[in-house]
């Protein structure tokens, strides 16, 4: 595994929707006493505001994410 393994297993919120294989979005992850932004890749498109789980580090600033069960996407959280 490359990149930032400390992000794996953490949750975050998509600030930019993912497009599945067509392209990444952006996720805000609470980590190291603050919040950091990463590129977010997912197998399926996920809308902005989705709460996600980080399942893999893909490089220095890129992560693979999956939607958490019961994630509310109808009311995105403010940043």
The 10s digit of each residue's pLDDT in 38-68 is 999 999 999 999 999 999 999 889 999 999 9
The 10s digit of each residue's pLDDT in 18-42 is 999 999 999 999 998 999 999 999 9
- The answer to the question of residue 34 being in a domain is yes
pLDDT band at 73 (very low <50, low <70, confident <90, very high): low
Contact criterion met (CB below 8 Å) for 52 and 71: yes
- The answer to the question of residue 79 being in a domain is no
- The answer to the question of residue 6 being in a domain is yes
Number of domains, the chain: 1
Residues near 70 by beta carbon (within 8 Å), at least 6 away in sequence: none
- The answer to the question of residue 12 being in a domain is yes
Identify the residue whose tokens are 């109808």.
74
Mean per-residue pLDDT over the chain, rounded: 88
User: Which CATH number belongs to the domain containing residue 9 in this structure?
Assistant: 2.40.50.140
> Beta partners for 3?
59
């Amino acid at each position: 595994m490359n990149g930032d393994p400390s992000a794996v297993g953490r949750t975050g919120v998509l600030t930019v929707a993912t497009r599945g294989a067509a392209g990444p979005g952006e996720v805000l992850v609470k980590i190291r006493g603050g919040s950091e932004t990463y590129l977010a890749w997912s197998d399926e498109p996920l809308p902005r505001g989705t709460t996600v789980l980080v399942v893999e580090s893909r490089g220095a600033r890129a992560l693979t994410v999956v939607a958490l069960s019961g994630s509310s996407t109808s009311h995105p959280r403010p940043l």
